[in-house]
Amino acid sequence: MDFDTLFQDQIDALKNEGNYRIFADLERRCGEFPRVTNHGPEGRRDVTVWCSNDYLGMSQHPDVVAAMVDTTRACGTGAGGTRNISGTAHHHIALEAELADLHGKDDALLFSSGYVSNWAALGTLGARIPNAVILSDALNHASMIEGIRHSRADKVIWKHNDPRDLDRKLAACGDRPKIVAFESVYSMDGDIAPLAEIIEVAERHGAMTYLDEVHAVGMYGPRGGGVAEREGLMDRIDIIEGTLGKAFGCFGGYITGTKALCDFIRSFSSGFIFTTALPPAVAAAARTSIAHLKQSRTEREAQKRQVEKLRGKLDALGIPHLPNPSHIIPVMIGDPVKCRMISDVLMNDWGIYVQPINYPTVPKGTERLRFTPGPLHSDADIDHLVAALNGLWSQCALSRQVA
């Protein structure tokens, strides 16, 4: 078989659909974010990033940078292998204690990414709890879906953010061990789950609750513990999962819960046992970022102001975006080719980088540009973005195309 031809045929089909992914060649410059260098086909140029999940710019914070640099000088660049054999470092232990404190839990466990923490934790729980059934919100992230699939446990999908549908489906599961898996902030639409109602339903049926807070940690709550902290619900959730790679500006993922739970995942999850540990310098930087955001609201408040400004200016010009209570602003396009075209024009003509969000990340017909204003975006940056979008909207008559 000519495998390369098979591969190329499928890639060409993806391109014809408008869903082929093109990655911008960007170079961050410490202290200048959201300005970056784009190494494009026409040479180097400065662009402003509008779609980063480094929501608070903490990857640029001098204390976080210093922690990583100083720890690299002290410990070197790598962890030495898996924690099981040679890679457990004091910085891992300190970071896990910081995370447990953030979420009001007994313990925490680090992973190499938020994707892996979901895949490993849900995969292990579903596989090793006898006769378990996992009830998954219809819009859960791919990492949660993959973890559930890998577990081979029975899966039940409940309607997105619908506690009544969850109630009906939990009741139909009878006395089996039940795990309810859901997110707080859904990153594509920016909506926030009704946590209290979901938890009440789960408690009524004796189900374990598994909450993904990756797009909320650092962002919500008085100490950045997420939506569950903001709403005073952390103690009623069995497992809180998060990431170090978004608002905390570093790298890695984690779960928090009881000591028995974390030890159970540590002991049985192949996604933990057989993977290289985070470098100590990454752990030190993440711990510094978390500790800072526990006591500083400056970054969160500045970020909220910029989100409100951008929303207000889009509304004033009639540029439609999904209404939601979060920090994510999806501008709906509804066509993959147009979405790619607008992204290219913004980059090439305006020096604005926003990645098109197409299928399979979102359903076909709901293609969008996803903007994430941060505290390091200036008012001038917002004005420049709005002027660019307004010009494109007028030229292309996109208001007739939005869903």
What is the dihedral sign for C-alpha 278, 281, 282, 284?
Answer: positive
Q: Say which of 105, 169, 178, 246 is annotated catalytic.
A: 246
3-state DSSP assignment of residue 330? strand
34's CB contacts (< 8 A; 6+ apart) are: 48, 49, 50, 52, 57, 374, 376, 377, 381
How many angstroms separate the CA atoms of 194 and 94, rounded? 32
Tell me the residue ranges of DSSP E strands in 333-373: 352-353, 356-357, 368-371
DSSP letter for each residue of 70-118 = HHHHHH-S---SBIIIII--HHHHHHHHHHHHHHT-SEEEEES-HHHHH
Does the annotation mark 246 as catalytic? Answer: yes
Q: Compute the distance between CA of residue 266 and CA of residue 124 in angstroms, rounded to an integer.
A: 10
Residue 276 bridge partners (DSSP)? 82
Q: How far apart are CA 96 and CA 117, in angstroms?
A: 14
Q: Which helix (H) or strand (E) holds 291?
A: helix 280-295
Catalytic residues: 246
